[in-house]
Amino acid sequence: MCPLLGVAAGGTAVRRAGSALVGGGNSAGQAAVYLSSQVAKVRLIVRGPGLEANMSRYLVERITARPNVEILTETTVTALEGQDGLLEAIRCHSHRSGEEKKFAIRHLFLFIGADPNTEWLSRSGVMLDDKGFVRAGANIHRPLETNLPGVFTIGDVRSGSVKRVAAAVGEGAQVVAELHAFLAELGDRARLPANTRRH
């Protein structure tokens, strides 16, 4: 279940409890806008000096217009406190002032990036980048093909992809043409007499 829906469905007690989000990108921005319509107060904890570097302008404007969103920049979460598996407070460190602050928080949401689930590929011979995303582009004619002929990569897991739904869907459509081209080439090679085949 989406954690944000959990908050929305939690009733008045949950709505009054403190909520915080960690992150300074668009996902954190969208969540902050949504959450601020559901709960009394949202703290947005951002490691960098501001929102502008990684967040779309329209989201920055919407967030700064919400009186119940407090933006804490140059700040990191240093500790979580609670009992019986329930969060009660978070401690934060301001890198600007050096100050340590404690906030009563019941719900903490993290929007600090994603790790590709590609460990299982590490011994396959498919090339990954230093963060584990799958490299494509080994064949200039089939840009979504990996270094292994006939193995393709699309969407978020592809190294250097845009990480957007429309881009992933577009690559899904594009890869079909590349697969056809690959299979056609394979068929041509299979039809060539053995002594004229190029490997």
Ligand X SMILES: Cc1cc2nc3c(=O)[nH]c(=O)nc-3n(C[C@H](O)[C@H](O)[C@H](O)COP(=O)(O)OP(=O)(O)OC[C@H]3O[C@@H](n4cnc5c(N)ncnc54)[C@H](O)[C@@H]3O)c2cc1C
Contact segment (CB under 6 A) with ligand X among 67-75, 86-94, 123-131, 158-166 equals: 158-166
| Cβ-based neighbour number of residue 97 at 10 Å | 10
DSSP three-state, residue 13: helix
Q: Which of 22, 73, 20 is nearest to 48 (CA)?
A: 73
Q: Is 156 one of the binding residues for ligand X (CB under 6 A)?
A: yes
Q: Which of residues 86-145 bind ligand X (CB under 6 A)?
A: 117, 120
Contact 68, 40 (CB under 8 A): yes
Q: How far is the CB of 128 from ligand X (least distance, A)?
A: 14
x-or-dash string of contact with ligand X, 12-31, rule CB under 6 A: ---------------x--x-
Contact segment (CB under 6 A) with ligand X among 51-59, 89-97, 99-107, 162-170 equals: 162-170
Name the strand (E) or helix (H) holding 70: strand 69-72
Nearer to ligand X, 164 or 197 (CB): 164
Specify the DSSP class assigned to residue 71: E
The β-bridge partners of 190 are none
Among 51, 155, 159, 175, binds ligand X (CB under 6 A): 155
- State the Cα–Cα distance between residues 71 and 82, nearest whole angstrom: 23
Question: Where do contacts with ligand X occur on this chain (CB under 6 A)?
Answer: 27, 30, 117, 120, 155-156, 163-166, 168
